Structures are given as structure tokens and as C-alpha cells.
Amino acid sequence: MYRLFHIVQKEFIQIARNKAILPLMTVVPIVQLIVLTFAANNEVKNVQLAIVNHDQSTYARQLIQKIQVSDRFILVSTPRSSKEADALMQGGEVDIVLTIPPKFEKRFYQLKSGKIQLLVNAINGQQATVGASYLSSIIQSFNKEIRSDAAPQLFVQKVNPIPRIETTNSYWYNQDLDYKYFMAPGIMGELVTILVMLLTAMNIVREREIGTIEQINVTPIKKWQFILGKMIPFLIIGFVLLTIGLTAGKLIFDVPFRGNLGIIFAYCLVNLMAVLGLGLFISNLSNTQQQAMFTTFFFVIIFILMSGLFTPIESMPKWAQYLTIPNPIAHFVNVMRSVLLKGSGFSDVWFNFWVTGILAIIFNTLAVWSYRKVS
Amino acid sequence: MTTIKAIEANLLTKRFGSFTAVDAITFDVQQGEIFGFLGANGAGKTTAIKMLIGLSRPTDGQAKVAGFDVYRQTEQIKNHIGYMSQRFSLYEDLTVKQNIRFYGGIYGLSRREIKTKTEEIVSNLELRDYSNKVVGALPLGWKQRLAFAVAGVHDPKIIFLDEPTGGVDPATRRQFWEMIYAAANQGVTIFVTTHYMDEAEYCDRISIMVDGKIEALDSPRNLKIQFEAKSMDDVFIKLARA
């Protein structure tokens, strides 16, 4: 225990003396939390729209007005011909081209169905499909309005009033569909994991580069004492990071804290053990800090992209969904969101606890095993 | 049987694949002796040292250090030896005091022992004004003397020094050897590698390694007679060129 204390003490002195680590621990996470939470937004807004209006009628103008009112679309151009519109699409200037055919209004009064064409640029799949469906729903509701308001006499008696199914939505856990509530907790979890993993991965290999590891290896220190001595400081750093993240999330975004924060910190402990084990394992296998950094990036990128932070795990292919099981960031993101937004209790996130616990055992066994005092 | 040998090596061998770095070396080192371990670059000195201090597992042969086996008892060996490597291995971002405290703590010294040791080292090295400065800011010669002192922080029976004076000015090298003598006078065995032949003359006995083998082993005086050489320089060149 006494030896352990000396290692931890030494690590803290080194961390305190390192000019890069303190800002890395405070400014960087807050900046990232703010920037990512605002930027990593899946809401479809600002869809660039071109409208080709071949029918200079009241209805056509009303429809265009209705679309312009919506803040999701920006009417960038009103080309005269379809050819011009195609060129805009080709040039990537617009996402959707809406074409109102000639005699749009006239056909409507003639009780013929009116056809409006939507050309959708599907390179950005989400922008395209979601944008198109927003636009369709605007057209639908416009349709309904003109049917009932503008010309009731034409329709009410003649058309059989078949009952329509309508849906009304109520959004649980995030009533206003505020995307920031969804992103901020996930990003906090991700940030803690990544920063701690990077710091640990660079740690032992740094001692190898400088040569001090050799000096440590000729002392009678036990492997587990060395590994644990390296872990404890970073565990504490991880907790500080989480606290900073939660505070910033509350102050800046007013993220709801519906669940018990104790569960979050308890899970953070398990998660950090896993990530620290992995970081130290990488560090042990690397000869230079550069190698350690690239190896860590490899894991970090996969972990983030497959964590469900930016894209839902449920929409990944089955095999990829299984790959998210040994991903500590995926569990952290899930725990943060469930506990903070839904108020989940311990029993709801039990699965995340035990999978991460197993990961912690595996990674730390590898870390102790791969630390060789004798070559 | 009354004198326990500090180091006994018998046909100690290390191979890396088909390359034999250390080829069946056999030698003894007496307690309290200053044993010079010489050889050209790449002759296998560092590999041999690493086997003795438990950093590298021998491929073949036997060796005992402070009475402990180099295969099975490496951790016991580590309790009884100090080591100073070619590369400077104190923490440059810790102060003089913090380095002493850290290594003392790792070797299991008590708080009080650490305090007395720190006092002793700081006053012996005349580092009182610098004891709260980071080690990285000290001149190289001071760093090397401090590293030697720290290698002996737990009062080991044997201290291994791997080219301790590389790149150090002659005056500081002299001071360094005074420290070595002082330690040897207290009964500490010194096992030292060097490229400076004047330093070789300071040793009680020296061995000269060529291509993984020990080609000569005796006191500097006897070696000069044996090789009909005027100085250790000549002895070394005769052997290394052969």
C-alpha cells in the first residue's frame, strides 16, 4: 500500500507539472461539449429548396408561401424551367426541387387530382428523406385546407367522407424534442472515456521512451502495484471530468437530471476501469508515444462511430449491433441518456454495468499480463 | 565458504534468435570489489548486465547475484541491488527531493528513512540549494551523481553502473569515482561498465568482453603485464583488434 501511495503521489506531481494536461482537462471538454452539442444535430433544418412554378395561380402562390413560412426550408431559387432546376441540382446548390405543373389550380377545380413533383437529391440521405417527408406533410396539410376552406361546396357533398386515421404524437422524456438534451449527456460520457483513455495510453509508453521504466523494473515493485498506481490518478481525473461535464451540461444546456447521479458516478467508475485497462494495455504494447496514439485513435474512432452517439445503434446492421456490445463508449452513452433523461434506475442499466465490468476484468488482466518486468 | 560471492556467473548465455549476444561468460565478483566490465560497443555488456539484474532472462547457463538465482529469484535480487543505466533515468519533471522520495518509497523505505536519506544525499552532493529544483534543470554531471546516489537509496549490496560517466567532463568524472570509492569502502560491490580506460585503472579487477565472450579478466596491472602493454588503452586495442 505504501509503495502504491508513492506511485500515485508521483503521478500527481507529474500531472500537475505538465502544462498541457490541466487545460486538456478543463477547457477542452467544455469547449467540445458546447461545440459538439450544438453542431452534432440530426434535426433537418435549412433544406435548400428550388421551386419551379409553372402555374401562376393563387393556390400555387399560397402553397409556396406556406412552405416559406417553415423554418426547415430555404427557398434559394425559383427557376423558370425544369432544365434550370436540374442544373441547380447538378451543381449541388439545392437539395429538393419542387415543380408545380401548369394548370395546377385549374385541374383542382375541375376535380382532377393535382400532381406536384418533388426531385430529391439523395446524396445526403437523411437531409433528402426527412426533408421530402416534411415537404410532403406541408403539401398534405395545404391540400386539406383548400379542400375544406376554399371550396367546401365542391367537395363536402360529393366526396364520401371516409374517416381518416390521424396520428397525434406525444414525445416522452424530451417533450420539446430538444436535440441538445439528447446529445449533451452522450457527449459527456464519450469525452470522459476518450480523454482518460488517451492519457493512460500515453503514460507507460512515455516512461519507456524516457527510460525511467527500466529503473522501475529493477525495483522490487509488484506488477499490480505499478498498474494500480498508474490507474488511480486517472480514475480521479475521470471523475473530475465527469463532474465538470455534468455541471457544464446543467448550466449551459439545462440538461435534466431525472435519475440518480450516484448511478452515473458508479457506472463511470466501472467504465473508467475498463478504459484504463485498455489504455494501459495499448501503452504496454507500444514502443513510442506515436504508436500508442495511433492505436488509441483506431479504437476511439470505432468506439465513437459505433456508440450510438451520433447514429442509432438500432439502425445498424445486426453484426454491427453485436460489435457495440464490447464498446465501453456505447454503454456510457446509453447510461448517461437513460439515467439523465429517463430517470432510469440501477435495474434498468444493469446490463451496461455487468458488460462493462467484464470488459474491465479482461482489459486489466491484459494490462497486468502485458507489463513485463523481464524481457 | 566464508566469503559469499557478490556475483557468480557460470557459462551465462543470451541468444536473440541465431545471434548470440552473450556467449557463455564465466566470472566471479567478490564482495566490496570494484569490478570493471569493459568491451567495445555491441560486445554484449549491457545484455550481460540486464541478465544479472533481472531485466532479461538468460537463454542458458547459471548466475547468482547476492546469492539469488537469476532465473527464479529476480525479485529478491532487485531488493539487494541498485542500478544506474546508460540513459538518465530519474524523472526530469520531479525535483531532487521528489525523486529521492519516490525511489525510496518504491524500495519500501519508511518515511523517516526517506527523510534521513534525503538529507544525506543532498548534503553529500552539495545540492542543498537545488533540492527543490526539477532535476531536468541540473547540469548533466550533477544529474549523473544524483542518479548514482538514488541507485543506492536502499543501501543495496551491489550497484550496477552501465556507462555512468558517458558525456561527463573530467572533473565531474573524478567526483563520480570518489563516490564509487566511498561506496566500495562501505562494503558495496560495484559492477561498472565504461569506455574510459583511465577509469578502468581505478577498478580492482576488470574483464574485457569481445563479441559476447570474456577475453581477459584480471587486475589492470596483471593485464598490462599479460598483454605486454604500457597502458589499458593498449590492452583494450590489442584485444578488440584481434
| Nearest beta carbon to residue B56 from set A7, A10, A375 | A375
Q: Which three cell numbers stand for residue B20?
A: 548470440
Residues of A in contact with B97 (CB under 8 A): none
What is the model's pLDDT at position A293? 92
Closest CA to A249 of A353, A343, A341: A341
CB contact (8 A) between residue B55 and residue A17:
no
Classify domain B7-89+157-241 at the CATH topology level.
Rossmann fold (3.40.50)
Q: Which of B56, B93, B100, B161 to mutate to test the interface with A (most CBs of A within 10 A)?
A: B93
What are the average pLDDT values for consecutive 10-residue runs of chain A, which has 375 residues?
89 87 81 84 78 85 85 85 86 86 80 79 76 84 74 54 67 70 88 90 89 90 89 92 91 89 95 94 91 93 89 86 92 93 89 95 92 75
Q: Tell if the CB–CB gap between B91 and A6 is shorter than 8 Å.
A: no
Task: Write out residues in chain B with pLDDT < 70, as ranges.
Answer: 1-3, 242
CA A33 remoteness from chain centre = 11
Hunting for cell 449527456 — which residue is that?
Answer: A185
Residue A243, pLDDT score:
92
Which of B78, B92, B134 is nearest residue A219 as measured by Cβ atoms?
A: B78
Q: Please report, for chain A, the start and end positions of each structural domain, with discontinuous segments joined by +.
A: 2-41+178-370, 47-155
> pTM to 2 decimals?
0.79
Q: Say how far apart CA A226 and CA B54 lie, in whole Å.
A: 17
**Cell 424534442 belongs to residue:** A177
Q: Which residues contact B4 (CB under 8 A, 6 or more apart)?
A: B31, B67
Judging contacts by C-beta atoms under 8 Å, the chain A residues touching residue B79 are 220
Question: Cell numbers of A157, please?
Answer: 357533398
ipTM over 0.85 threshold: yes
Residues A201, A293: contact at Cβ < 8 Å? yes
Cβ contact A7–B89 (<8 Å): no
The per-residue pLDDT for A150 is 56
Q: What is the spatial distance between Cα B33 and Cα B36, in angstroms, rounded to a whole number?
A: 9
pLDDT score at B1: 42
Q: Which chain A residue's Cα is nearest to B73?
A: A220
Whether the CB of B107 is below 8 Å from some CB of chain A: the reply is yes
Domain residue spans of chain B: 7-89+157-241
CATH of A47-155, one of 3.40.1710.10, 3.40.50.2300, 3.40.50.10950, 3.40.50.800: 3.40.1710.10
* Residue B105 near chain A (CB below 8 Å): yes
Contact partners, residue A158, CB within 8 Å, separation at least 6: A111
Contact A53, A101 (CB under 8 A): no
Closest C-alpha among B66, B65, B67, B36 to residue B51? B65
Question: Which of A61, A122, A125 lies closest to A97 in space, CA to CA?
Answer: A122
Write the DSSP assignment of chain B as a string of letters: --SPPSEEEEEEEEEETTEEEEEEEEEEE-TT-EEEEEE-TTSSHHHHHHHHTTSS--SEEEEEETTEETTT-HHHHHHHEEEE-SS--S-TTSBHHHHHHHHHHHTT--HHHHHHHHHHHHHHTT-GGGTTSBGGGS-HHHHHHHHHHHHTTT--SEEEEESTTTT--HHHHHHHHHHHHHHHHTT-EEEEE-S-HHHHHHSSEEEEEETTEEEEEE-HHHHHHHTT-SSHHHHHHHHHH-
Q: What is the dihedral of CA A335, A337, A340, A345, to 10 degrees?
A: -40
- Interface contact A14-B94, CB threshold 8 A: yes
